[in-house]
């Protein structure tokens, strides 16, 4: 019996050493793990009390403290191994009463959008992310602007370009986003 326990314990140790050093046992890239997590996780709903809109975000995204933001804003983020994904929503005033076409042209120019899509009361912009000093290499954005009276409700997603494929579910949620 002692011999059997000794051999079983030895085989277990050898197996564990082999598995930890196995060249064929390389862990999947974070972008692949992220895609799986986003597809499988439950989406939580955030309700803004100031403007009465809702957005859905992945359960593992961390909300920012509302007290740090302006009225009508929310922010949820995921950060791991130099990958930062930020989903946010905010409200802009439409004091110039811009139409969807006019606003799409204005914000596409401001954001350096490479792609745009328009609907009856919304437009979606996407492209490389820029700051005041220029292009932010390797970062992208995806934003939906929904017009309601004298306001633009905006839901925005910023992310590393190598994670774009992983975020398909979030793009679909933003595409389908109805303010009311």
Check residue 9 and give its pLDDT. Answer: 58
Strand partners, 144: 124, 155
Average pLDDT over residues 170-176: 97
pLDDT-wise least confident of 6-10, 151-155, 164-168, 176-180? 6-10
CATH architecture of the domain covering 28-176: 3-Layer(aba) Sandwich (3.40)
Check residue 179 and give its pLDDT. Answer: 86
* pLDDT tens-digit readout, 55-81: 999 999 999 886 567 899 999 999 988
Check residue 4 and give its pLDDT. Answer: 55
The per-residue b/e assignment along 120-144, b for 16 or more CB within 10 angstroms, e otherwise, is eebbbbbbbbeeeeeeeeeebbbbb
* pLDDT tens-digit readout, 80-110: 888 899 999 999 999 999 999 999 999 999 9
Report the C-alpha gap between 82 and 80 in whole angstroms.
6
Average pLDDT over residues 32-43: 92
Check residue 141 and give its pLDDT. Answer: 98
pLDDT at 143 over 80: yes
Whether residue 151 contacts residue 137, with contact meaning beta carbons closer than 8 Å, is answered with no
pLDDT at 22 over 60: no
Question: Where do the structural domains in the chain lie, given as residue ranges?
Answer: 28-176
Check residue 24 and give its pLDDT. Answer: 47
Check residue 13 and give its pLDDT. Answer: 55
């Amino acid at each position: 019996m002692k011999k059997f326990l000794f051999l079983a314990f030895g085989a277990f140790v050898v197996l564990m050493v082999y598995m930890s050093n196995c060249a064929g046992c390389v862990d999947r890239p974070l972008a692949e793990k992220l895609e799986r997590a986003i597809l499988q996780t439950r989406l939580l709903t955030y309700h803004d009390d100031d403007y009465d809109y809702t957005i859905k975000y992945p359960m593992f995204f961390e909300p920012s403290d509302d007290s740090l933001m302006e009225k009508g804003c929310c922010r949820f983020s995921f950060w791991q191994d130099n990958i930062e994904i930020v989903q946010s929503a905010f409200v802009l005033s439409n004091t110039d009463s811009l139409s969807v076409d006019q606003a799409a042209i204005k914000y596409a120019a401001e954001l350096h959008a490479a792609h745009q899509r328009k609907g009856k009361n919304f437009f979606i912009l996407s492209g490389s992310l820029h700051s005041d000093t220029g292009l932010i290499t390797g970062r992208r954005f995806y934003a939906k602007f929904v017009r309601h009276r004298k306001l633009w409700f905006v839901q925005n997603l910023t992310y590393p370009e190598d994670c774009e494929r992983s975020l398909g579910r979030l793009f679909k949620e933003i595409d389908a986003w109805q303010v009311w």
